[in-house]
Structure 1
Amino acid sequence: MSVTEAWDAFMALLESEAPATARSFRPGATAAAVDAAERATGLSWPKELREFVTCQGGQREYAPDAAEPFGGQILPAQDMFGLDQILAERTMMIEVWQGIIEGDAEYFPGGYDGVIAAHPHAGSRAGAFLPHYIPISGMDGYLYFCDLRPGEAHGSVRAYYQDASDDDSYTWRSITEMVTGLRAAIAGGSAVDMWEPRIENDEVFWQPEGSGDQPARPTQHTPGRLVVHTGYDAPPADALARPFESPGADIDAIAHAVRAAAEAKYGAVRVSGAQTNLRWIPQIPGFVADCRATVGGIVMPYAAVITDTPSEFLVVEIPSEGASFER
């Protein structure tokens, strides 16, 4: 299936189920405009990317006096870009990262060119926005971009997060897969990057996965909360009051364990970061360290229980009902 065929099938679905969203898209670019944009980036665009920007020209910008000021979104919390916005967003992101890197020569000794050279293969995380990234959608510092570096993941669609830069791998292998996947998700109500689609007032909108069905998180112990049996007695109440008596647990090892647990459940493609909520954690078996992992752009709570083996932790995801920890 070509990009055009996938897009036409997607628009047919929207025209039937969410016509306001279908009407929100501007006409696509001409072949001449795509040629000019490609030359402006200095990159060779894959056929799918060229075809995609001729299918659609992005969504209408908000206009207070418009009859339909908002048409919904086919991507979670992002607007699709037209050709001009693609170029403008790419230019801005390159300038931002040039400034960041040039302002920290100690951390980036090779400068922006060094970062580019150190990450030559598509799909690999650079920890920055590279010139080979073509943003196709975005909002508030969050983007989906087409990775044009060479390699097996050339042309894949990846995520960029404001607080974590580029993701570790691709979200979709190709633009066709993205369009087909979004159509299937909206038709079936299935989640994309932990966001669920809904259709109301002829528009597609997205909400955090499960937010429409799960109860508010309780603040006290209830029978419905997760009970975690740690195998250890509760740590002393003053465990955090004496941070200089020992080197404490390995913060980086805890974060790695939390990330590994999140990736095992959601896949590495969705997990963009993990960390603890404290700068120092006592190496006391049974101590519960509050942590978090970013899954599909959503920060999710985790807990890591310290064990009597410094490099091993009991990691659990905290459900909306909360959790209690017992021996």
Structure 2
Amino acid sequence: MTPVAAAWARIEDWMRRYTPGSLTVLAPPATRDAIDAAALEVGLPFPAELVESLRRHDGLTEWANVLPEAPPLSAAGIVEQYRIRMEIAPDVDGFTPYTAGAEPWWHERWLPFGDADGDLQVIDLRPGPGHGRVGFAPHDNPAHFDDAWPSLAAYLNAVADALDTGGAVGAWHAYVRAGGGLWWDLDGATALNGEPLRPAPTLDP
């Protein structure tokens, strides 16, 4: 089993035990043809780890806060969000860094992985030591890789570790909503929309 598939298996196992409703929103696998077609439309080869993730779950069947940084996109959603950024960037000088040493608003070699209301979690496909890292491209600020995960596998394994043994993924901690669904929030959160949040249980020893 690949590192990405193993991480997803651990996440699924935790959900199966503690938040089964969240497990049902994980979409079925994308087909190889759908992934190949999406890569062709974007014009970039999808890295192996992204393909492995899509072959596990083609995004979600409905919006849910099941991953800490952003809900994962489907293959079609990756194409849609990539096109949107590529269409907007020329109009806002989005390919040019605002200051020396900063990231631009967008780069044609970033692939969206997750979408949090227009703020995109991206995989950096530029050549060099940062190739494959996972960072963030907000809709209203330059992108940043300050706290980048070195790979998609590293990010998903951090999520699995946080669920299995406790701890955080960056600033985000796992909770269980009153209705039984998984929710990620900042440390010390106690309520969501007036309903209680409780810290997510870890796996039984």
TM-score range, shorter chain: 0.7 to 0.9
What is the Cα deviation at residue 10 of structure 1?
1.7
Q: Structure 1's 153 and 11: CA in aligned 2 closer, same or farther, altered over 3 A?
A: same
Percent identical among aligned pairs is 24
Aligned to 1:92: 84
TM-score by length of 1: 0.52
List structure 1 segments (4+ residues) > 4 angstroms apart after TM superposition: none
Match of 1:37 in 2: 38
Does residue 46 in structure 1 map to residue 24 in structure 2? no
What is the match of residue 157 of structure 1? 134
Contact 1:134 1:148 in 2 (8 A): yes
Q: Take 1:195 and 1:170, find their aligned partners in 2: how far apart are those partners?
A: 13
Contact 2:11–2:163 (CA under 8 A) maintained in structure 1: no
Equivalent-residue separation in structure 1 for 2:181 and 2:164 (angstroms):
13
Q: CA contact under 8 A between 1:97 and 1:128: conserved in structure 2?
A: yes
Alignment partners' CA distance in 1, 2:165 and 2:180? 16
Residue number among 102, 105, 119 corresponding to 1:128 in the alignment: 105
Partner of 2:27 in structure 1?
A: 26
| 1:40 to partner: Cα distance | 1.5
Shift of 1:77: 6.3
Answer yes or no: is the 8 Å Cα contact 1:153–1:170 preserved in 2: no
Secondary structure of the residue aligned to 2:129 is: coil
Is 185-194 or 130-139 further displaced after alignment?
Answer: 185-194
Cα drift, residue 170 of structure 1: 5.0
Number of the residue aligned with 2:170: 193
Structure 1 spans left out of the alignment, 5+ residues: 63-71, 103-111, 214-327
Question: Which consecutive residues of structure 2, in runs of 5 or more, have no partner in the other structure?
Answer: 192-205
- Equivalent in 138, 148, 155 of residue 178 of structure 1: 155
Output the amino acid matched with 2:44: L
Match of 1:269 in 2: none
RCO higher in structure (CA 8 A, sep ≥6): 2
Report what 2:7 is aligned to.
6
Which one has a larger percent helix, Structure 1 or Structure 2? 2
Change (3 A) 1:153 1:87: same
1:113-145 Cα distance to aligned partner (Å, 9 max, x none): xx39xx9xxxx8522111111111112232211
3-state DSSP class of the match of 2:77? helix
Cross-structure match for 2:68: 76
Q: SS of 2:123's equivalent?
A: strand
User: What is the Cα deviation at residue 174 of structure 1?
Assistant: 1.0
Number of equivalent positions: 187
Q: Are 1:207 and 2:199 counterparts?
A: no
Does the alignment pair 1:101 with 2:93?
yes
1:112-151 matches, cutoff 5 A: 112=95, 115=96, 125-151=102-128
